[in-house]
Amino acid sequence: MRKTMVAGNWKMNKNLQEGVALAQELTSALKGTTPRCEVVIGTPFIHLATVAQVIKDSPIRLSAENCSDKVSGAYTGEVSAEMVKSTGAEYCILGHSERRAYYHEDNELLKEKVLRALENGLKVIFCIGEVKEEREAGKQNEVVKSQLEGSLFNLSDEQFANITLAYEPVWAIGTGLTATPEQAQEMHAYIRSLLASKYGEQRANDTTILYGGSCNAKNAAELFANPDVDGGLIGGASLKAPDFLTIINAR
């Protein structure tokens, strides 16, 4: 049975003290419990080392939201995958549409970032998804396929075992416009079929595919009820402990 997961992506929200307070709130609520899904929080780089200490005796796992495509050296302002790993983080979110849109990260660059993360023992939550115009033109499958082929399909089956996918239709992120459960299921099943063609049925069945985009405490259960939706990557609703906990319990 593949792993189910609810992961938070804090994006560029919360200063260090606020982030620690949120991590403490989640830790108190989840300590000693066994959530039905894996629980991950993705925080800004500067929070990682401190939050790692806060959550260390809880079931919560830690993720970065990005890492460099370079190994080390004179790259002012960059943070390497090795540095991320040294904080205690286990995961790295890569390929988020905000990184693609605002920081011009393309498939080729993301391919390098994925390799750096894996080389350093990080697991990757890799985001894919189409923009509104692409969905309106019926091109969503094509877009998602080229994102997978361009950044991940160079990986061996063994490497791919460390990838969690997140289907995040860009038109649904932060807009309140959620994909319908049918749209999510249809795309997740399509993604799984692509994985089956490339890596075989076993890997396709074992790969966790999350939905992201205005997933919240109210609609999570309906989205997660679909057979190919293995959980969620949550933005806004991961910033409030009660909402995030409701979503975790919906999985």
CA distance 220 to 161: 26
3-state helix, strand, coil in the chain (%, to 5): 45, 15, 40
C-alpha 141, offset from chain centre = 19
Question: Which of 65, 96, 105, 134 is flagged as catalytic?
Answer: 96
Q: Bridge-partner residues for 164, per DSSP? A: 125
Question: Which of 105, 134, 168, 188 is flagged as catalytic?
Answer: 168
CA distance 40 to 8: 6
Q: Which stretch binds ligand 13P (CB under 6 A): 21-29, 75-83, 105-113, 232-240?
A: 232-240
Is 96 part of the annotated catalytic residue set?
Answer: yes
Evaluate whether 12 touches 236 at the Cβ level (below 8 Å). Answer: no
Nearest distance in Å: CB 202, ligand 13P: 28
* Residue among 118 and 234 whose Cβ is closer to ligand 13P: 234
44 binds ligand 13P (CB under 6 A): no
> Using the rule CB under 6 A, which residue among 48, 128, 215, 229 binds ligand 13P?
215
Query: Position of tokens 């000693």?
Result: 32
* Residue among 96 and 199 whose Cβ is closer to ligand 13P: 96
235 binds ligand 13P (CB under 6 A): yes
Evaluate whether 177 touches 133 at the Cβ level (below 8 Å). Answer: no
Subset of 9-28 contacting ligand 13P (CB under 6 A): 9
DSSP state of 52: H
Buried b (16+ CB within 10 A) or exposed e, 168-181: bbbbbbeeeebbeb
Nearest distance in Å: CB 11, ligand 13P: 7
Binding mask 170-189 for ligand 13P (x = CB under 6 A): ---xx---------------
Binding mask 142-171 for ligand 13P (x = CB under 6 A): --------------------------x---
Q: Which stretch binds ligand 13P (CB under 6 A): 43-51, 108-116, 153-161, 207-215?
A: 207-215
CA distance 69 to 154: 16
Closest alpha carbon to 210 in 158, 163, 142, 154? 163
3-state SS of 47-67 is HHHHHHHHCCCCCEEEEECCC
Nearest distance in Å: CB 108, ligand 13P: 22
214 binds ligand 13P (CB under 6 A): yes
**Positions that interact with ligand 13P (CB under 6 A):** 9, 96, 168, 173-174, 212-215, 233-237
Query: Could you list the active site residues?
Result: 96, 168
